[in-house]
């Protein structure tokens, strides 16, 4: 390291210290603790303190890798994982499509873009609990406006959240409503950074709007699109509050149709008194997300360009 670099760190360190301390205390330490707890049979009801024989506690209550083995050999885990993947398959293309459309609409506005931005962004600022309750009402089979609207055209709407088939798509619809604005803003930032001269040049050469979108916008937006895809996928694996509020939480939806990973982790930790088991579950989820992110990162070079 250069002398300057070392000096730089020395100057920066005191300024960084509060955040570093916070990160160490409230993120890195708990992560480490959860790894140790994941090999124990801790119920979450007896008191465990860090300062008073924590490692002894871990040693005494250790079950080795039993928790991991039990989770992976349980049909329920694969079911929850498949529900997460099903959610992603429905959610990811739709969120890209909708947020891209939003971004393009806002970008095309000459006046009133601010208003559109606010309107699209409002759901992002809404709390998930409030949002879920609204959607629960919107999707109510008999009294909900959506089915009443469908009835005008003679369509009998599904039972939505009460139907095994429609419960997950309902969650996807609500999630898109909630997240669309956020990703649209990110994409809008990307769109704004594209030099307008490219478009002018293309227009002079007689390119159609579709051609411009495919040949200019998409390639130059690829880095932002990659970021959006990765982020929304990671978030999709952590699907939780909407499921807890919108579908009957005792059984994770009709016949367990919305049983997902984080919902399981929560239930094992805070309802079933199996904190150690839940910790193992979290680490398995972490490894899965890590693997998916790695695969995406590997594919990045093929389609993402960083030169603007």
Asked if 123 and 130 count as a contact pair (C-beta separation under 8 A), the reply is no
Interactions with another protein, residue window 59-98 (CB under 8 A): none
Asked if 247 and 254 count as a contact pair (C-beta separation under 8 A), the reply is yes
Show the binding pattern over residues 178-217: x = contacts another protein (CB under 8 A), - = does not. Answer: ----------------------------------------
Asked if 190 and 224 count as a contact pair (C-beta separation under 8 A), the reply is yes
| Closer Cβ to another protein, 15 or 153, answer by number | 15
Least CB distance to another protein at residue 42 (A): 9
CA distance 217 to 199: 9
Least CB distance to another protein at residue 285 (A): 19
Beta bridge partners of 232: none
CA distance 247 to 237: 17
Q: Give the 3-state secondary structure of residue 40.
A: strand
Q: Which residue, chain included where needed, has tokens 């939806």?
A: 253
| Closer Cβ to another protein, 95 or 264, answer by number | 264
CA distance 249 to 95: 25
21 binds another protein (CB under 8 A): yes
| Closer Cβ to another protein, 219 or 254, answer by number | 254
CA distance 179 to 96: 10
| Closer Cβ to another protein, 41 or 94, answer by number | 41
Least CB distance to another protein at residue 271 (A): 5
CA distance 235 to 138: 24
- Within 8 A by CB and 6+ apart from 175, the residues are 87, 91, 95, 239, 242
Least CB distance to another protein at residue 89 (A): 23
Among 1, 45, 152, 210, contact with another protein (rule: CB under 8 A): 45
- Sign of dihedral through CA atoms 215, 216, 221, 222? positive
Site residue total, another protein (CB under 8 A): 33
Least CB distance to another protein at residue 178 (A): 23
Among 92, 104, 124, 159, contact with another protein (rule: CB under 8 A): 159
| Closer Cβ to another protein, 20 or 201, answer by number | 20
Beta bridge partners of 40: 62
- The footprint of another protein (CB under 8 A) covers 10-11, 13-15, 17-18, 21, 43-48, 140-143, 159, 162, 164, 250-251, 254-256, 267-268, 270-274
């Amino acid at each position: 390291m250069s002398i300057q670099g070392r000096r730089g760190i020395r100057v920066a360190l005191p300024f960084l210290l509060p955040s570093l301390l916070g990160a160490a205390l409230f993120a890195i330490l708990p992560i480490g603790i959860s790894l140790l707890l994941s090999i124990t049979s801790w119920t979450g009801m007896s008191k465990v303190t860090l300062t008073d024989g924590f490692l002894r506690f871990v040693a005494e209550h250790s079950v080795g890798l039993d928790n991991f083995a039990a989770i992976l050999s349980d049909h329920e885990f694969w079911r929850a994982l498949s529900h997460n993947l099903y959610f992603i398959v429905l959610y990811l293309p739709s969120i890209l499509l909708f947020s891209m459309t939003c971004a393009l609409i806002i970008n095309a506005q000459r006046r009133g873009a601010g208003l559109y931005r606010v309107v699209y962004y409002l759901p992002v600022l809404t709390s998930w609990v409030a949002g879920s309750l609204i959607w629960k009402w919107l999707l109510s089979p008999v009294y909900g406006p959506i089915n009443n609207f469908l009835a005008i055209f003679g369509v009998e709407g599904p039972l939505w959240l009460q139907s095994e088939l429609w419960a997950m798509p309902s969650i996807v619809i609500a999630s898109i409503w909630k997240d669309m604005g956020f990703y649209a803003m990110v994409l809008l930032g990307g769109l704004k950074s594209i030099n307008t001269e490219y478009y002018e040049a293309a227009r002079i050469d007689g390119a159609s709007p579709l051609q411009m979108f495919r040949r200019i916008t998409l390639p130059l937006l690829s880095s932002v699109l990659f970021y959006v895809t990765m982020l929304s996928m990671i978030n999709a694996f952590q699907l939780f509050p909407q499921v807890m509020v919108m579908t009957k939480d005792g059984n994770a939806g009709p016949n367990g149709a919305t049983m997902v990973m984080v919902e399981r982790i929560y239930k094992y930790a805070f309802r079933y008194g199996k904190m150690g088991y839940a910790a193992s579950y979290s680490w398995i989820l972490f490894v899965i997300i890590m693997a998916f992110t790695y695969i995406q990162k590997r594919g990045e070079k093929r389609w993402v360009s960083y030169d603007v």
